[in-house]
Amino acid sequence: MRLIIAEKPSLARAIADALPGQVSREEGSLRVGDTRVSWCLGHLLEQAAPDAYDPRYKQWRLDHLPIVPEQWKLTPRHNARGQLKVLRTLLKQAKSVVHAGDPDREGQLLVQEVIDYLGWRGSVARLLISDLNRPAVQRALERMEDNRSYQALYHAAEARSRADWLYGINLSRAWTLTGRQAGHDGVLSVGRVQTPVLGLVARRDREIADFVPRPFYVLWADFQVEHGTVRAWWQPDDRHPLDDQNRLLKREPAEALASRLPGTLGRVATLDAQKKRQAAPLPYSLSALQVDAARRYKLSAKGVLDACQALYERHRLITYPRSDCRYLPQDHWAQARRTLEGACAGDETLSRWLGSADFSLRSKAWNDKQVGAHHALAPTGARPDFARLSASEANVFRLIVRNVLAQFYPPLETREVKVDFEALEERFRAQGREILVPGWKPLFTTRDDAPPLPSLRQGEPARVADQAVEDRMTRPPEPFTDASLIKAMMNIARYVEDVAVRRTLRETDGLGTEATRAGIIETLLDRGFIVRQGSALRATRTGQALIAALPDAATRPERTALWEQRLSAIAEGSDQAAPFLDALLGDLRTLLAGADTARMRQALASAKGFEAPARAKARKAGRRGTKGTAAKRRTTKRTPGKNKEEA
């Protein structure tokens, strides 16, 4: 018997349907001829709790730390024993085994760790599926590989799992116990990724709270030229009081100049006109899709991921969604017309866009060199039944189709103009843009932020027709939203102060991964460290206090993002897991030395101002207003030793 182990039941069903023969269901598996297809339910195993290594670790004590297992142990997750029993029985009967986890780091880990845990010693084939439609699954079944080729990916995932355990268990215990000594009743969980993300939110909220608005002033003038009127803005030089963004800090110079401007004859001093071509945005990675869907449809990162999973697993309308790639394989180009014809069927807007697509075009999106374990999100070509899709699923699907469809539109061509007017020996600046060829642009928006300027000539006279001074105020930074927080995690180098580290991080995938970013936000919400206020994500008093009490290095993204870089190197075979974990332990001991009750007490006191509005907003949103969620939170406080709260 051949045994194929899939990551989830939906994938197992797709594999069984693609095999030749009649499918029959048996306990925990599907039979097709001499093949049995079974499944995991996500992770069936998890890292064992500390007391599995030593019973004394059941009690939380600072003098136990750091807890470092000599021989790592896995234990079945809650409700996983039944499926593990099925897999154990099937493995005893099997003559060959196929690993059919998702094509990513975690997919490699969760199936292989079960195979190893249950004692299989034979060879294992690797089945990689990114599209659940039958023809795609059949093609994947014809080109299976040796699972040994993916051991580097497995070692990276295993190192990630152990690193998260070491970091989460030890630091969560240390700061929970320190918090208890400082009067805080509850678990203060610390995570290798979640805490730096919380740090981003908490620091942004502090910037907003500490922001002092300052007035500044602008002067505009309308210049009458041969072919129309142009509004331009005064560019004061350093003879005047300016801030670091060249904003005028006193009104008097602007008023003085404005009083002299009426009827003044000036001229076009400089004119810079350039034609530009801009290719269509690439197809989506998951994070890029989460950013756009949050901005356009106000969907949370988790909401976008859930919609993608449904479109992939239930409806089979899109390819594997947890992808960090924005490119497509070159051989997909030849099938694109047929694929998009199926995807656009039944939708008026998509069908209209399809009718104007030029399938002879080949954008830079089709590039095998840029495609790794998975490619960009794309439609499978299955015809959608929009009546069966939720509003979120339909909106997300249309975005995915649109970005692939845009690859068959010509570039956007524009003429961009920058002009400086000179009047009374002062400079006034304007800019505009004329769309020459709209190309792909109408698929995304009909609005243009920079309207065109009238025809201008270098040196032509320009008379001031109107002018005014406007009073303005500096504004605080915007609070994070799902879109901006995901984007910050993708581009974490922007939030790094060390120049050398920032340069390194520009080459990495940022903080967290495509598969985990939405979950990180939800974890922070569930643990009461952040709340939603409308579309904004704000730190609670507890979240603020935790960030203030931790060593600065534990709250910033540098170390975690560099660890993610090393995990990627392990996955590529250019680094090893052991040195990575050794370095982590050194960092861990340094961080544990920073646990301080006095600092925690001070942090809790300084964060009081964030308590009332955050809780009120949370109750209003209903996030933690239900009895079930509140009860769960109270249970967490009574039982701080639960492994899930430590990690």
pLDDT of residue 612: 42
Domain containing 347 equals 286-408
Do residue 26 and residue 126 come from a single domain?
yes
Report which of 415, 420, 416 is spatially closest to residue 458, judged by C-alpha positions: 420
**Contact residues for 570 (Cβ-Cβ < 8 A; gap 6+):** 152, 155, 156, 159, 576, 577, 580
| Angle (deg, nearest 10), helices 194-210 and 482-490 | 120
The domain that holds 550 is classified in CATH as: 1.10.460.10
C-alpha dist (Å) from residue 394 to 199, 402, 607:
34, 12, 42
Paired residues of 282 in beta bridges? none
pLDDT of residue 131: 80
Domain assignment present for 66 = no
Domain assignment present for 53 = no
Report which of 412, 414, 459 is spatially closest to residue 273, judged by C-alpha positions: 414
Domain assignment present for 59 = no
Do residue 133 and residue 220 come from a single domain?
no
Q: Evaluate the omega torsion of the peptide bond into residue 103 and state whether it is cis, within 30 degrees of 0.
A: no
pLDDT of residue 636: 33
Domain assignment present for 381 = yes
How many C-beta neighbours within 10 Å does residue 483 have? Answer: 21
What's the token pair of residue 594? 């920073």
Q: Which amino acid is at 260?
A: R
Do residue 160 and residue 89 come from a single domain?
no
Q: Report the 3 state secondary structure along 85-111.
A: HHHHHHHHHCCEEEEECCCCHHHHHHH
Do residue 587 and residue 600 come from a single domain?
yes
Look at the alpha carbons of 76, 77, 78, 82 in this order and tell me if their dihedral is positive or negative: negative
The residues of the chain scoring below 70 in pLDDT are 373, 448-449, 504, 507-509, 609-647
* Domain closes at, from 377, 408, 439: 408
The domain that holds 88 is classified in CATH as: 3.40.50.140
Do residue 30 and residue 113 come from a single domain?
yes
**Catalytic residue numbers?**
320
* Domain closes at, from 473, 499, 519: 473
What does the pLDDT look like over 50-106, one tens digit per residue?
999 999 999 999 999 999 999 999 999 988 999 999 999 999 999 999 999 987 888
Domain assignment present for 49 = no
- DSSP, collapsed to helix, strand or coil, labels residue 425 as coil
What's the token pair of residue 20? 């030749």
447 CB burial (10 A radius; 0-12, 13-18, 19+)? exposed
Alpha-helix residue ranges (DSSP H) falling in 265-375: 286-297, 301-309, 336-344, 348-355
* Domain closes at, from 408, 434, 451: 408
The domain that holds 424 is classified in CATH as: 2.70.20.10
**Contact residues for 522 (Cβ-Cβ < 8 A; gap 6+):** 301, 302
Q: For residue 532, how far is the Cα from the chain centroid? A: 17
Domain assignment present for 464 = yes
Do residue 382 and residue 294 come from a single domain?
yes
Look at the alpha carbons of 110, 111, 114, 116 in this order and tell me if their dihedral is positive or negative: negative
Do residue 427 and residue 316 come from a single domain?
no
Do residue 306 and residue 250 come from a single domain?
no
pTM above 0.95, yes or no: no
Furthest C-alpha separation in the chain: 95
Q: Which amino acid is at 472?
A: R
pLDDT of residue 614: 43
The domain that holds 297 is classified in CATH as: 1.10.290.10
H or E segment to which residue 39 belongs: strand 35-39
Q: Report the 3 state secondary structure along 236-263.
A: CCCCCCECCCCCECCHHHHHHHHHHCCC
Domain assignment present for 74 = no
C-alpha dist (Å) from residue 359 to 18, 54, 333:
30, 64, 9
- DSSP, collapsed to helix, strand or coil, labels residue 214 as coil
Do residue 7 and residue 136 come from a single domain?
yes
Report which of 480, 511, 522, 532 is spatially closest to residue 303, judged by C-alpha positions: 522
Do residue 631 and residue 486 come from a single domain?
yes
Q: What's the total number of domains in the chain?
A: 4
pLDDT of residue 509: 63
Q: Which amino acid is at 159?
A: A
- DSSP, collapsed to helix, strand or coil, labels residue 286 as helix
What's the token pair of residue 512? 């967290």
Do residue 531 and residue 603 come from a single domain?
yes
Cα separation, 380 vs 582, in Å, equals 44
Do residue 88 and residue 112 come from a single domain?
yes
C-alpha dist (Å) from residue 93 to 26, 86, 88, 469:
15, 11, 9, 84
What's the token pair of residue 527? 């643990």
Domain assignment present for 63 = no
Cα separation, 448 vs 24, in Å, equals 57
Q: For residue 58, how far is the Cα from the chain centroid? A: 35
Report which of 117, 115, 81 is spatially closest to residue 97, judged by C-alpha positions: 115
- DSSP, collapsed to helix, strand or coil, labels residue 433 as strand
